[in-house]
Structure 1
Amino acid sequence: MIGLVLGPTLFLLVFFLIPEDELTYAARVVLGITAWTATWWVTEALPIPATSLLPIILLPTLGGLSMEQASRSYGDPIVFMYMGGFMIAIAIEKWKLHRRMALHILRVIGTRSDRIVLGVMIATAFLSMWISNAATALMMLPVALAVIKEVKTNEILSGPSLDRFSKSILLSVAYSASIGGLATLVGSVPNAVFAAMSKKLLDREIMFFEWFLFGFPVAMILLILLFLYLTRVQFKVEHKGEMSAAFIQKGLEDLGKMKREEKWVFVVFLMTAFLWIFKLFLFGGMTVSDTSIAIFGAMLLFLIPATNGERILEWQDMKELPWGLLLLFGGGLSLATGFAETNLTGWIGENLQHLNGLSYIMLLIILTGAILFMTEIMSNTAVANMIIPITVGLGLAIGIEPYGLMAAAALASSCAFMLPISTPPNAAVFSADVLKISDMVRAGFWLNIISIVVIVLAVYFWLPVVLKS
Structure 2
Amino acid sequence: MVYIVWFSKRCNHGEAMLNKKIERWGLWLGPVIGVGITVFGDLKPGHPEVTHTAGVACWMAVWWMTEAVPLAATALLPVVLFPLLGIMSGQEVAPLYLNHIIFLFVGGFMVALGMQRWNLHRRIALRLLLLFGGCPRCILTGFMLVTAFLSMWISNTATTMMMVPIALAIVVRMEEQGVASGSFGTAVFLGVAYAASIGGSATLVGTPTNLSFVRILSIHFAEVPEISFAMWFAFALPLACVMLVCAWGALCLVFGIRGRGDDIDLSVVRAQYAELGPMSFAEKVVLADFVLLALLWLSRRPIQIGDWTLPGWSQFFESGGLITDGSVAMAMALILFVVPARDGAKSRVMDWQTAGNVPWHIVLLIGGGFALASGFKESGLSLWCAQQLEGMGRLHPLFLVGGLCVMMTFLTELTSNTATAEMFLPVLAALSVAVGLNPLLLMIPATLSCSCAFMLPVATPPNAIVFGTDRISMRDMARVGVGLNLIGAVMITAAIAVVGRVVLGIELGVMPDWAKIQ
Establish whether TM, by shorter chain, passes 0.5.
Answer: yes
Whether 2:61 is the aligned partner of 1:38: answer yes
In 2, Cα distance between the equivalents of 1:235 and 1:34?
Answer: 47
Counterpart secondary structure, 2:341: coil
In 1, Cα distance between the equivalents of 2:68 and 2:254?
Answer: 41
Q: Give, in angstroms, the shift of residue 361 of structure 1.
A: 0.5
In 2, Cα distance between the equivalents of 1:85 and 1:234?
Answer: 37
Q: Provide the residue aligned with 2:489 in structure 1.
A: 452
Q: Provide the residue aligned with 2:35 in structure 1.
A: 12
Alignment of 1:33-112 (within 5 A): 33-112=56-135
Q: Give, in angstroms, the shift of residue 208 of structure 1.
A: 0.6
Whether 2:410 is the aligned partner of 1:410: answer no
Q: Provide the residue aligned with 2:52 in structure 1.
A: 29
Q: In the alignment, is the contact (CA less than 8 A) between 1:419 and 1:440 conserved in 2?
A: yes
Whether 2:480 is the aligned partner of 1:443: answer yes
Q: Provide the residue aligned with 1:231 in structure 2.
A: 252
Q: In the alignment, is the contact (CA less than 8 A) between 1:26 and 1:65 conserved in 2?
A: no
In 1, Cα distance between the equivalents of 2:255 and 2:273?
Answer: 32
Higher helix share: 1
Q: What TM-score comes out, normalization by structure 2 length?
A: 0.88
Q: Match for 1:283 among 304, 314, 339?
A: 314
In 2, Cα distance between the equivalents of 1:29 and 1:394?
Answer: 20
Q: Give, in angstroms, the shift of residue 22 of structure 1.
A: 4.4
In 2, Cα distance between the equivalents of 1:23 and 1:236?
Answer: 65
Q: Provide the residue aligned with 1:464 in structure 2.
A: 501
Q: In the alignment, is the contact (CA less than 8 A) between 2:114 and 2:286 conserved in 1?
A: yes
Question: For 1:417-442, what per-residue CA distance to the aligned partner results, in whole angstroms no more than 9, with x for missing partners?
Answer: 11111111001101110111000000
In 2, Cα distance between the equivalents of 1:392 and 1:378?
Answer: 21
The number of aligned residues is 465
Q: What TM-score comes out, normalization by structure 1 length?
A: 0.97
Q: Give, in angstroms, the shift of residue 49 of structure 1.
A: 1.1
Q: Provide the residue aligned with 2:407 in structure 1.
A: 370
User: 5+ residue gaps in structure 1?
Assistant: none
> Identity over aligned residues, as a percent?
38
Whether 2:187 is the aligned partner of 1:168: answer yes
Counterpart secondary structure, 1:435: coil
Q: Provide the residue aligned with 1:251 in structure 2.
A: 272
In 2, Cα distance between the equivalents of 1:164 and 1:54?
Answer: 46
Cα distance change, pair 20–453 in 1 and its aligned pair in 2 (3 A): closer
Larger deviation: 321-330 or 46-55? 46-55
Q: Match for 2:334 among 299, 315, 323?
A: 299
Question: For 1:112-146, what per-residue CA distance to the aligned partner results, in whole angstroms no more than 9, with x for missing partners?
Answer: 11000000001000000001111110010011101
In 1, Cα distance between the equivalents of 2:257 and 2:455?
Answer: 19
Q: In the alignment, is the contact (CA less than 8 A) between 1:376 and 1:419 conserved in 2?
A: yes
**What amino acid is the match of 2:280?**
K
Q: Provide the residue aligned with 2:306 in structure 1.
A: none
Q: In the alignment, is the contact (CA less than 8 A) between 2:97 and 2:366 conserved in 1?
A: yes
Counterpart secondary structure, 1:183: coil
In 1, Cα distance between the equivalents of 2:217 and 2:246?
Answer: 30
User: 5+ residue gaps in structure 2?
Assistant: 1-23, 302-311, 507-518
Q: Match for 1:131 among 150, 154, 165?
A: 154
Q: Match for 1:268 among 258, 282, 289?
A: 289
Q: Give, in angstroms, the shift of residue 225 of structure 1.
A: 1.2
Whether 2:226 is the aligned partner of 1:191: answer no
**What amino acid is the match of 1:277?**
L
**What amino acid is the match of 2:145?**
I
**What amino acid is the match of 1:100?**
R
**What amino acid is the match of 2:324?**
S
Q: Match for 1:206 among 227, 238, 244?
A: 227
Q: Give, in angstroms, the shift of residue 239 of structure 1.
A: 3.4
**What amino acid is the match of 1:55?**
P
